[in-house]
Structures are given as structure tokens and as C-alpha cells.
Amino acid sequence: MQFTFLFLALIMGGGFGFLISRTIDNSRFNSVRNQTNAMLKETTETAERIKKDRVTEARDEVFKLRQDADRDIKERRGEIQRTERKLEQKEENLDRKLEKVGHKEDELRHRQDEMDARAAEIESLIKQQVERLEEIAGMTREEAQEILLRKTEEEAQYIIGLRLKELEEKAKRESERKARDVVIMAIQRCAVEYSSDATVSVVPLPNDDMKGRIIGREGRNIRAFETLTGVDLIVDDTPEAVTLSSFDPVRREIARLSLERLIVDGRIHPARIEELIEKSSREVEEEIIDAGESAVLETGIKNIHAELIRTLGQLKFRFSYGQNALSHSLEVSYLSGMIASELGIDQELARRSGLLHDLGKAVDHQVEGSHAIIGADLARRFGERPEVISAIASHHDNPECKNIYDVIVACADAISASRPGARRESLDAYIKRLEKLEELAQAFTGVSKAYAIQAGREIRVVVMPNNTDDGTVHKLAYDIARKIEEEMKYPGQIKITVSREMRATEYAK
């Protein structure tokens, strides 16, 4: 019973608690809903108030804009009215000016009529005077005009001739002075060395017994050496030395290098000779290409064909009067660029022409013709510019120079070849060249004496006064110059001076 009563009490307590909790929840919900409704009402009232404020502001803004627009319209109307008044005033001024112009035209027309009448009267008077003058002079007007024109033309020709002569002399002086300035400035800017050593053709030996080993049994070693190198090996009585002879400087260099290595190695037989010659050939070929590339890099020239670079490198082993051909080409390139700089023309094109001008010397022992023509053909074959080809072909004035770059390269070549220390020759060759100059001059009829001076740069010729006259002196100088050009080879130019002198001697007793 007690248990049942407790159980019922628990159930009743739980139900009562549930009812109490539901009552509390409903009251909270009503409170929240009331607060929400109050907030919504307040928000709605705020929005309405803001809306009314914005509408009022918008109306004020529209009213203000309308007032501004009305004010602008009034101002523009005022400007248009002022402009219209100005235009009306301008039209009135134009009308007045047109009226004045009309009056002036009438006045000018009247004056023109008066001038025409006076001109007719003057013309009539001139005609009468001309007729009177013709009667007095006894010749017609055309005849008088012809005489006057002839005299005027003669005087004009005389004056023009004098003026042209003065201008020609002045231009010649100015051109010579300017040319000297340009050349001197170019030379001063070019730092050059003296002539290089001549090519080595004599190979020293440690002793004379080495000659026999070089010749070999029944001459097999020397035959193999000459066949493989294409160079003549001369073994003579010169103590402890042999001589290499060939027109090809590259082959001579390969032979010299191979022979020196054979002498150091000591194993001299055909197989070893062939091995060392092949090795030397590869090294010389690499040296040739390096020399050509270095020359191109030093001068700053671009886009040169590889075959031209190789041919240019071969000039390293070519010498002329002790002057290395590659060094000479570099020097001519520098000088050409500097002369072009002084003249304000393309420096790179001038340097390119100067560097390649002696290209034919590398192969002139293989091809017939002058080195200038050979070099021009090589440049043309490998796509060089026409200006470069022309400069290469004409740098010795055959054919004649056609453009400014031809003249620049020819000048630079002459400067490089003829400057002090550029070239050298043996004493015997020097004396023979001077004797040859004097002999050529003395071979002409009427020449009394001939003297080569200034190291062969000038020759003074004295003619017999009784057998020649002043007119033949110039012809004799020209003939001697042409004869020297045909029969001699020399760097630069030679000056020929022919003098004729008459002396009268008497004695007072």
C-alpha cells in the first residue's frame, strides 16, 4: 500500500511539474513575441522617417539643379546675343572696307590707263630715237645688238675664266690641306709597330751529322719529306743549317715546324716524318683559323664568310719587305676606319675593305694574276659588298678608284707600306733598286744625269738644255714615271723631278 501510494505520488508530482514547465515556456514565448513586434514597429517607423528625409533632400536637390540650369541658359543666351552683335558689327565693317576697295580699284584702273598711254608715248619716242641713231651710226639695231653682245660675251668669258682659275686653285689648295689634315689625324690616332721579322727559311741543326740523318739511306728521308710537304729541302755546305724553299708560306711553315720536331725527336724515318707532318699540318691549320678570327675580332667586323677568315689567317705567314701581311692588313683596316671617321662616313665598311684588301696575297702563288684582282674575285665569290670588292681590286690604282672607299683603302695601304719602319730590305736589294731607278731615267734621250734620293722615294733628272726645250720636260717626266711603274715594284710612290738649266759663262779680261 505504501509502495502504491509512493508511486502515485511520484506520478502526480511529475505531471504537476510538466504543467508548471509548459506554463513558464508559454509566458517566455509571449514575451519574446511582444519584444519582436515592438522592434519591428520601431524599425518600420525609422524607415518611414528616413524615407521622408531622403525624398525631401531629393526635392531640394532637383530644385537647386533646376535653378542652376535656368541660370546657365540665361548666361548662354546673353553670350549668343553678344556674339550676334559682334557679327553684325563685323559685317558693317566689311561692307565699309569693300566700298573702299571698290574706290581704290577705280582709282588704280584710272592710273593704269594713264600709264599705258604714257608707255605708248615713250615707246614711240624710243622708236624715233632708235631710227635717228641708226641713221647716224649707219647700222641697224640688230647689228648694233650683235656687236654689243659679242663684246659683252668676250668680257664675260674672260672674267669667268679668271674666276674659274682662282676657284680651281683655291679648291686645290683647300683639298690638299684637308687631305693632309685627314691623313695626319688618322696616322696620329693609329699606334703601329715596326716591321716584323721575315719568314724563317733556315732551320738550325745541332751538328753536321744531322744532315746525313735528314737525307737518309739513298735519300729516302729527304724524298719523303719533300713529297709530303711540297717544300724543297736544301742541304748545302752551310754549317749546322739547312734551308727550306717554297713559294707557299703555309707549306714552308709546316715543313719548318715538322723538321724542328724531327731534329728534337731524333727518330727520322718516313713513317715518323709522315706522322709529324700530319700533326704539324693540323696545328698550323688551327693557328691559321685562330689568326683570322682574332683579326676579325680586333677590327670589330661582323658576318665574314668562314673561308675568307681562313684565307685571312694565312697572311700570318706571308711577308713583304719584312712586313707581315696580316699585321699590314690590320694596320690598313685601322687607318681606313680612322680616315672614314674624319670624313664622317661608314667606318665599319672602311675597316672591312682595309682588312680584306690584301686577301689575294694568301693564294697568289696558286692563281695567276695580281693579288688585287685575285682578292676581289675571292670576296665576290663569298658574298662581300660591291664597295669592298671595288676597294680590293683598285687599291693599287688598276683599275682606277671609283668611290670614296677605294681612295681611302689606297691611301691607308700607301701609308702603312711607306711609313718609317714599316718595311725593310737588304742592303744589296736597296742599292740595286736605287741603281735601277737611275738606270731607267738615264736611258731616255736628252738626260744628262739622274740621282735617286730620299731612299728611292724621289729621283732628280737633269736634262741637257741644248737638246730639249721647256715643253719636252713635262713629257719626259711623264714617260719616266710610266717606265718606272711598268718595270719596278715598290711601296708607296716615287716623285720624278726633271730640271733643265742653261748656264752662260764668260771671262772678263
Write the burial class of residue 323 (CB in 10 Å: 0-12 exposed, 13-18 middle, 19+ buried): buried
Q: Are strands 319-320 and 202-204 parallel, antiparallel or unpaired?
A: unpaired
Q: By the 8 A CB rule, do 473 and 498 touch? A: yes
Maximum distance among all Cα pairs of the chain, rounded to whole angstroms: 205
Which single residue is written with the C-alpha cell 524599425? 43
What is the domain class of 202-418 according to CATH? mainly alpha
C-alpha cell at 473: 720636260
What confidence category does residue 252 fall into, taking pLDDT thresholds of 50, 70 and 90?
Answer: confident
pTM over 0.85: no
User: Average pLDDT in the 384-388 region?
Assistant: 88
449 torsion bin: left (phi>0), alpha (psi -120 to 50), beta (else): beta
Sequence ranges of the chain with CATH classification 1.10.3210: 202-418
Sequence ranges of the chain with CATH classification 3.30.300.20: 427-500
What confidence category does residue 51 fall into, taking pLDDT thresholds of 50, 70 and 90?
Answer: confident
Residue 133 has pLDDT above 80, yes or no: no
- pLDDT, residue 200, reads 46
Which single residue is written with the C-alpha cell 661608314? 346
Helices (H), 300-346: 306-314, 325-343
- pLDDT, residue 78, reads 87
Element (H, E) at 323: strand 323-324
- Lowest average pLDDT, out of 166-170, 307-311, 380-384, goes to 166-170
- pLDDT, residue 198, reads 47
- pLDDT, residue 20, reads 58
Q: By the 8 A CB rule, do 499 and 460 touch? A: yes
Q: What is the mean pLDDT of the chain?
A: 80
What confidence category does residue 138 fall into, taking pLDDT thresholds of 50, 70 and 90?
Answer: low
Determine the Cα–Cα distance for residues 299 and 290; give it in Å rounded to an integer: 14
Q: What is the pLDDT of residues 58-76, one digit of tens each?
A: 888 888 888 888 888 988 8
- pLDDT, residue 302, reads 85
Q: In this structure, which topology does domain 427-500 adopt according to CATH?
A: GMP Synthetase; Chain A, domain 3 (3.30.300)
- pLDDT, residue 125, reads 85
Q: Letter for the amino acid at 264? A: V
- pLDDT, residue 329, reads 86
Q: What is the pLDDT of residues 77-131, one digit of tens each?
A: 888 988 888 898 888 888 888 888 888 888 888 888 889 888 888 888 888 877 7
Residue 448 three-state SS? strand
Distances from the Cα of 498 to the Cα of 310, 446, 460, 476, 501, angstroms:
47, 11, 6, 8, 10
CB atoms under 10 Å from CB of 57, counted, come to 10
User: Average pLDDT in the 247-272 region?
Assistant: 85
What confidence category does residue 199 fall into, taking pLDDT thresholds of 50, 70 and 90?
Answer: very low
What confidence category does residue 190 fall into, taking pLDDT thresholds of 50, 70 and 90?
Answer: low
Residue 1 has pLDDT above 60, yes or no: no
Let me know how long the chain is.
Answer: 509
